Amino acid sequence: MRSAGGPEDVLPAVAGRLGLSLEDVRCLRAMPLFSGLTAQQMDMLLGDAAVRRFPRHSVLFVQGDVADRLFVVLEGWVRVFRTTREGGEITIHIFGRGESLAEAAVLQLGRYPVTGEAVEASRLLVIPAAGFLARLRRDSDLCFNILAALSRRLHGFIQQLEQLSARSSTERLALMLVSLCPRDSGPCTIDLPLDKTLIAARLGMQPETLSRCLARLRRVGVQTKGHRVVIEDVARLRALANPEKD
């Protein structure tokens, strides 16, 4: 199957078995984990993979369990967190569409250092570790892609730390809202993909701080009603999110 979009629109044979759409395949190929792979290499890498749907609050793996699978988010959101000795939870990261998780646990650690939970109804690509590792040993291109994926993940965490230190809490929230908008300017209405407690955790702030930030955004034309956010002008919100570009 080939569309006018070019070779990148050729569906690997495994896509039919997994029920992957063309948009799913494009999403995978945009990831460092699969970037540059031929259709044949994707067929090989995903030979024993499966697409599964997980209801909200499904536990994918538990901290300390043997790392026997890695995951790619096709739809929904996955939170990974560590449990403290006192029984509390520390959110490490929240993964969305087009992000992979648990590669490091599968490759080196042997056990999951965190617990993974689908915080919304999610559709995930689940890749068994044993077959994945066997294929890596046979194909150096796949090994380099894994290194790129882990490097990109580290770079992403560094960027998050820079944002936490260089941007105010209101600017970080504005940046997240802009990233969810399908247009660059004009009015836009979006639905928040996570509850406000999880959004606060992703942005490195307390829930009460998030509430204050939402209140501050009213002055630039942002109104919230539950999970729905109405933005008068995306360009104006972007200017607030990136004041150094003014």
Task: List the single range of 115-124, 153-162, 224-233 with lowest mean pLDDT.
Answer: 153-162
Q: Is 137 helix (H, G, I), strand (E, B) or coil?
A: helix
The residue with greater pLDDT, 144 or 21, is: 21
Res 129 pLDDT > 80: yes
Average pLDDT of the residues in 213-234: 89
Report pLDDT for 2.
Answer: 40
DSSP string for residues in 51-65: EEEE-TTEEEE-TTS
Alpha-carbon gap, residue 79 to 96, rounded angstroms: 9
Any residues with CB less than 8 A from the CB of 71 and at least 6 apart, and which? 60, 78, 100, 101, 102, 116, 124, 125, 126, 127
* 3-state DSSP percent of the chain in helix, strand and coil, to 5: 45, 25, 30
| pTM of the model as a whole | 0.72
Percent of the chain scoring above 90 in pLDDT = 24
> CB of 195 within 8 A of CB of 202?
no
Burial of 73 (0-12, 13-18, 19+ CB in 10 A): buried
Res 4 pLDDT > 60: no
Average pLDDT of the chain to the nearest whole number: 83
Q: What tokens does 58 get? A: 């499904």
Report pLDDT for 165.
Answer: 62
Report pLDDT for 60.
Answer: 96
Domains and CATH numbers, the chain: 7-164 (2.60.120.10), 167-245 (1.10.10.10)
Any residues with CB less than 8 A from the CB of 43 and at least 6 apart, and which? 12, 13, 14
